[in-house]
Amino acid sequence: MKDETMVVLKECNSVTEAEIIKSILDSAGIWSMINNENMSAIYPTGVIPAQIVVREEDAEKAEALLSHR
């Protein structure tokens, strides 16, 4: 996985929203992770957003999946 390019798919104002999106992606077989998860839980909403990160080759499929939610 070290040779794969990662892209930020979405920034969320809450860890809860990020976890829901990650769950949707996981159920579709799209690997994702949440950056800034702990920091966004500590600081007020929007200061340090939680970022949903996916593989570059999965970004288009992930965006399409989330556009239907």
* All domains of the chain in start order, with CATH: 6-67 (3.30.70.790)
Q: Which residues pair with 51 in a beta bridge?
A: 11, 35
Q: Helix (H, G, I), strand (E, B), or coil: what is residue 45? A: coil
The pLDDT tens digits of the residues spanning 6-43 come to 999 999 888 889 999 999 999 999 999 999 877 766 76
pTM, 2 dp:
0.82
62: number of Cβ within 10 Å? 22
**Residue of higher predicted confidence among 68 and 45:** 68
pLDDT confidence tier of residue 44, bands split at 50, 70 and 90: low
pLDDT confidence tier of residue 55, bands split at 50, 70 and 90: very high
pLDDT of 3 reads 66
Cα distance from N-terminal residue to C-terminal residue, the chain: 29
d(CA 35, CA 58): 17
